[in-house]
Amino acid sequence: MNRRTVVLLFTLSSILSIASIFLISAFTVSPDKISGNGNLGLIFLPVYCIFLIASMTFGFLLLRRIKIHAILPIIALFMLVFSTIQEFRLIKHRIQAVGGGIDEPNSKIYRLNWINQYTNDIWANGYIWLIAISLIVLIAYLFKRQKNEFSI
């Protein structure tokens, strides 16, 4: 694949994975409401996973073909730490909002699994997307550093 094709595929898969995040979020039930329609967000979760993996793959291929400036891995590391902290805060807040985990009898998600209509958006959100892309940038940088192909 030439560079232009890789850029196009990375852009397209990124847009589709982000669109999937919005769809999953739209079908995630707010913890202050009661759901009676099942887990409609689950329909889009595999789609999100496919496009996220495609974004990571094409992002890696793209980064292998271009020079990586030394500031990019520093930014990626910052985004990785920031997104990971925010993801843990989101999970903690969501578990508190539904009244506890899946083994808490007073919880809305009692006896459900962790992928349910109240917790879909803790599995597919912008923080997870940023974590994945940041990891790819860092991995590509390490590959390039091994070959001594990066610019300072």
Please give the pLDDT value at position 149.
52
As a whole-number percent, the residues of the chain with pLDDT over 90 amount to 66
2-9: long-range contacts, CB 8 A cutoff, minimum separation 24 = 3/62, 3/65, 3/66, 6/58, 6/61, 6/62, 6/65, 7/62, 9/54, 9/58
Position 16, amino acid: L
Give per-residue pLDDT as tens, 13-68: 999 999 999 999 999 888 888 877 778 889 999 999 999 999 999 999 999 988 88
This model's pTM is above 0.85: yes
- d(C-alpha 41, C-alpha 139), whole Å: 31
Helix (H, G, I), strand (E, B) or coil at 69: strand
More confident residue, 122 or 35: 122
